[in-house]
Every structure is written in C-alpha cells, then in structure tokens.
Amino acid sequence: MNNNPIYKNPNSPIESRIKDLLSRMTLSEKIGQITQIDRRVATRSAIRDLSVGSILSAGGGGPYEKATSSDWIDMIDRFQNAALESRLGIPLLYGTDAVHGNNNVYGATVFPHNIGLGATSLCDRDAELVRRIGVATALEVRACGAQFTFAPCVAVCKDLRWGRCYESYSEDTEIVRNMTSLVKGLQGQPPQGHPKGYPFVAGRENVVACAKHFVGDGGTDKGINEGNTIASYDELERIHMAPYLDCISQGVCTVMASYSSWNGRKLHSDHFLITQVLKEKLGFKGFVISDSQALDRLSYPFGSNYRKCVLLAINAGIDMVMVPFRYELFLEDLTYLVESGKIPIARIDDAVERILRVKFVAGLFEYPLADRSLLDRVGCKPHRDLAREAVRKSLVLLKNGKDPKKPFLPLNRNAERILVAGTHADNLGYQCGGWTATWMGASGRITIGTTILEAIMEAVGETTDLIYEQHPSQDTFANQDFSFAIVIVGEGPYAETMGDNSELVIPFNGAELISSVADKVPTLVILISGRPLVLEPWLLEKVDALVAAWLPGSEGDGITDVIFGDYEFQGKLPVTWFKRVEEAGKNSSEPLFRLGFGLTSNREGHLN
C-alpha cells in the first residue's frame, strides 16, 4: 500500500476518501464496520481483527460506578488504539446516551429532561436555549472521549402512559420541531449552502448526533412502549416524521430506527419508511442505526431465527447494527447472507459508505483520540448556570393562591418558619430521573448537584427557621407554627418499558402527604415527574400553589430562583394535563390544564 493513500489524506474530498477506502476493504472489514458492540464485550482482538465500527456504553455503562470523565477517556482511548491497530486503521465511533447532558458520567452537568425543555418552547421561539444545551452537552461528551450521542429523541408523545414520555419534548409536533435545534448545538451549525441531507460536524468540540426513534415511537397504541402506531401515512408524516426533516436540514449524522411498529409492521424491517422515505425521498445521507437488540426483537421468541432478522433489517436499510452482545453470531449470519447473495453487496457498500461518511465528517481519521484539554468542561460552572437557567424556564405554575387576588407566590424568603417536606425534597437521583448514572436512574446522591432542599436552605434568610421532615407527623405541627410549607413529591426514576403506567397516581403516597400538610399549613406543592399525574379536585382545592418542575436535573437552585421571586415563571405546558387518566391518550375537550397553560406570579422578577 502506498504510504499516503487518498483515504488518509485530509485534503482529499470526503467522497473520494470514502471511495478509496471502500475499494481497499474486505467483506469482513465492511461487515465489521456495520457492527456496534457494547463496551462490556469489547476486546482488543475483536476490535482490531474484526474492524468493529463502533462501541457503545448502553444505559450508563461507565468503566465503574461514579467513574469520572478521565476514567472514561482512558477506557475509550484503549478501545480506539485497538481500532487504529487494525489493517486499515479505521477509527471507532464511541456512542453514549447523553440525552440530558452527559448524564452517565459522574460529575457531569445534568440538564432537565426533554419534557421540561419542551415547556420552554413557547417563550423561546428560536429554541436558542436548547441549542446552547447541545453545545454544552457536546463539550462534556467529548471531554469523556466519546464522539457520538444517541440524541435528540424527537418522539411526539401522544399518550402520557408511555414510559418514555419525558424523553419527548411535547405532544405537539411544532414544539418538537422547534426543539430540534439541539442538533445544531451538538454538531455545530452547517454553513450556508451545505448539501441537503449531508451529515455535518463542525469540529473537535462537537459530536455526532442521532435523531430517534424513527418513526412514530411516541404514537403507539395506549402508550405501550415498543408497541404499534396505528396511523395513515399522512398522519405519520404530519405528526411524527416532521421533526426528522428539521434534523436532516441541520445535517444530522445518524437516525435510530424505532423498536415500534407502524400499522403492524416493525420499523426495523420497513424498507418503505427507512429506504424509500428517509433515504430516498428525504435525502438522508448519514447512517441509520438499529436500536439495541432490535434485530432480536423482530422474531418471537426473542432472538430466534436471528439470520432471518438480520436479512430483514439490513435489506430494509439499517446501516449499523447495535447488536450489541452476540456479535460473533451477527458477523457469521451477515457474512453468510452476503456470500449467498441474499443481501446484495451493493447494500453492504451503501451502509459502509454512510458510516465512513460520518466518520470522515466527524474528523475521526485526523483526531481519533480524546482531547484531554476539555476535561475541565465536565460539570463546569457555565454549564451548571445554563442548566439552572433551563430549570427556571421549564417550571410551569399551575395554581397561585386560593384567591386569585392574593397570589401565594413568590414566597417570602424571610418568613419566620418554613416546613419543607416530601420524598423528592432532598434526592438528587429523583430530581434527575432515568438515564442518569445508570439506565434506570436511582435514588440518592448519584452525581454532583444541588437538591431542592439544599437550594431552599441557601435561599432563605438567616433568621428563617427551616424545618425539614420527609414525612411530617402530627408532632411536626404540635407546638410550632409555620408561615408556609413546601411539599416536594413525584415519580421515582424509570426508563423505557419500566415507565409504562396506566394509573399515573403520584407515587410514594404523595397525594396523602400533600393532604396531611395542606390541612394544617398554607402549602406550595412542587411536582417532580416525567409527565402529568392524577390531581384529584379535592387535592387541587387544598393546596395554595402548584408547580410542575418535571425532571429538573442536577441544578435544584433553578427552582428556588423562581419560587422566591428572583425570576418570573415562563414555562408553558408542553402536554395536555388530563382530568382523568383515561383521557391520557385522547384529545379531551375538558382537560384539567390545556397544552400551553402556565401562570405567572405577577411580580417584577427577571424574565431571562
């Protein structure tokens, strides 16, 4: 081989580099590039000898619990060096679910989950806040050595019983479209004249983004995760596909196929939607990645008849397969299918070309290893301040005073005695929700941040007597008066199907806790949840004020900034708040609170 082949020359046009490299690759190396494996099964020999194209940290997946970004860099660079030792030295793409900041890395900034950001949309028409969050997230992802995040989720959630409702920005397609500005934050803004559908990554502080889950994941019948979206093609296109056009116009590098089905046909085997619509009609020139073990789910029982599943998915247009564990079987089956002519080599070449295009665009051949100069960006103050701003703007004020002429908020920070109560007052894991530190999230001090209680303690005056009782008892009220109480309750963390829920009552006996406090003291309730929950009329009647704070993430002080009046409420509901849970999936004519509802506290307060 000449010692400076075209594909290694950064001055050669990308399409020439792709063509040159492809012409040098064996079938085995091509199939290797199509393969994404989990870091837990990644060995030096597999990466080097099989020319594996990508590795991921599924749902958490750090080197070990509370691993910091330098631990991640060491791990990822080890994998990358193995890839660079392969015959052609094709660098790896390392993927992670950085879906609300680089949430898997200990100490990273954890931003509000998407439903909270959706609440900012109506007061941020150009979605500049979300773009800035993308910029910060990309920096914190690169600071841990990864270059690929499986975000944004552009699901349009049509049923609040769906376990991934909080990963959706809204039930309203236009709000979701607005929030796709995350792509240009993550990848950078393509220049004028950038070719339509062509992937774009600005530089070493940007990452490869992934619009997911194509298409209609948020529209499944009864909100059943990985279920069936029943819709005409026009409805599918108008409601669920529109955000993908915005992502493609911003040069999104990858699209992840959905586990779900459309009118009974699994998306991962849908040639019409993936190839004819996404690639041909919409002109998408990046690569389509499968979801994790999605090929195994094409058959029943799970993983049976795997060779047939590989055939269906690759021929439908899947380019990279997130296997991610049984990769030897995948390699063997795909090799057989190509060598036996069941999958044309042209399909394999198309997939590999798309993968190489993204790798060249991302500059991986020039800069395959991590940039350790970015390490101090992880959890840095400017990012935490940005997250605090996002929390402020995400809060939706649903009730402010039993008498409209006497607003309850903002609270008096110098009140004589305040009671803070509830399961979510002092629990960082609860306020971050799923996809934080681990796939499902967890309770407690799972990362670095400020709980709501800590923020309240910081905000109140020196003379204020602050009493914290997670579960107040009769004794709490026996011999002390309170100016007011702040009760913080809500959902525990969950992800995906574990979050499917057809009752939607406030967990941990939250309603009873609210009632027991509100019976005795004027009460503000702050709800920490991934979606609207049941609010009985008698409960609403009892409380003095109610704020939906969604899943705010690591910066709990964004909440106190607003409830004590330093900033005004701006958030507007990104989803309809039902009266009864049976309406959760319907366009009810008489909801409890309409899409777009949100009060202000009628006080000066800052507005930004």
Looking at residue 592, its amino acid is L
Q: Does the footprint of ligand GLC cover residue 287 (CB under 6 A)?
A: no
Q: Smallest distance from the beta carbon of 534 to ligand GLC, in angstroms?
A: 27
DSSP string, 533-589: ----HHHHHH-SEEEEEE---SBTHHHHHHHTTSB------SS-B-SSGGGTTS--S
Residue 453 near residue 526 (C-beta atoms within 8 A): no
Cβ distance to ligand GLC smaller for residue 254 or 560: 254
We find the least distance from the C-beta atom of residue 432 to ligand GLC, in angstroms, to be 17
Three-class secondary structure of residue 453 per DSSP: helix
212 binds ligand GLC (CB under 6 A): yes
Q: Which of 33, 54, 292, 394 binds ligand GLC (CB under 6 A)?
A: 292
**Least Å from the CB of residue 219 to ligand GLC:** 16
How near is the Cβ of 360 to ligand GLC at its closest, in Å? 23
Residues 473 and 31: their CA atoms lie apart, in Å, by 63
Q: Which of 246, 291, 296, 491 binds ligand GLC (CB under 6 A)?
A: 291
> What are phi and psi for residue 230, nearest 5 degrees?
-100, 110
* Rounded Cα–Cα distance for residues 462 and 414 (Å): 8
**Rounded distance between C-alpha atoms, residue 130 and residue 136, angstroms:** 10
Per CB under 6 A, contacts with ligand GLC among 225-254 are: none
> Which residue is catalytic, options 167, 172, 246, 291?
291
Q: Between 146 and 573, whose beta carbon lies closer to ligand GLC?
A: 146
Size of the site for ligand GLC (CB under 6 A): 7
Residue 165 CB neighbour total at 10 angstroms: 29
Strand bridging mode 54-57 / 93-96: parallel
Asked whether the beta carbons of 258 and 156 are under 8 A apart, the reply is: no
Q: Which two tokens stand for residue 412?
A: 């008096």
Centre a 10 Å sphere on the Cβ of residue 197 and count the other Cβ atoms it contains: 16
Residue 23, token pair as written in the block: 């012409």
Please tell me which residue in 496, 544, 555, 557 is annotated as part of the active site.
Answer: 496
Question: Considering only residues 58, 136, 311, 425, which one is a binding residue for ligand GLC as defined by CB under 6 A?
Answer: 58
CB of 117 to ligand GLC, least distance (A): 17
Place of tokens 């380019």: 319
Comparison of 268 and 285: residue with beta carbon closer to ligand GLC: 268
Q: Cα separation of 224 and 217, whole Å?
A: 10
Q: What are the residues facing 211 on neighbouring strands? A: 255
Footprint of ligand GLC on 138-167 (CB under 6 A) = 150
Judged by DSSP in three states, 13 sits in coil
Choose, by CB under 6 A, the member of 32, 53, 59, 556 that binds ligand GLC: 59
- Closest approach of ligand GLC to the CB of residue 212, in Å: 6
Q: At its nearest, how many Å lie between ligand GLC and the CB of residue 166?
A: 13
Closest Cα partner for 256 from 303, 228, 214?
214
- Please give the single-letter amino acid code of residue 36: Q
Helix orientation angle between 327-339 and 306-316, rounded to the nearest 10 degrees: 70
Per-residue mark of binding to ligand GLC, 416-455 (x: CB under 6 A): ----------------------------------------
Cβ 149 to ligand GLC shortest distance, Å: 9
| Summary count for the chain: helices (H), strands (E) | 21, 17
Considering the complex, state which of residue 296 and residue 557 has its C-beta at the smaller distance from ligand GLC: 296
**Minimum CB separation from ligand GLC for residue 177, in Å?**
20
Q: Which is nearer to ligand GLC, 38 or 389 (CB)?
A: 38
- Asked if 121 and 598 count as a contact pair (C-beta separation under 8 A), the reply is no
CB 127 within 8 A of CB 178: yes
User: Considering beta carbons, is residue 440 or 459 the nearer one to ligand GLC?
Assistant: 440
Q: Which of residues 59 and 199 has its CB atom nearest to ligand GLC in the complex?
A: 59
Residue 496 is among the residues annotated as catalytic for this protein: yes
Nearer to ligand GLC among residue 237 and residue 296 (C-beta): 296
Nearest CB to ligand GLC, comparing residues 167 and 426 = 167
Residues 80-119: x/- map of binding to ligand GLC (CB under 6 A)? Answer: -----------------x----------------------
d(CA 240, CA 213): 10
Q: Which residue is nearest to ligand GLC (CB)?
A: 150
**Catalytic residue check, 561:** no
H/E stretch holding 488: strand 484-490
Residues belonging to the active site:
291, 496
Interacting residues with ligand GLC (CB under 6 A)? 58-59, 97, 150, 212, 291-292
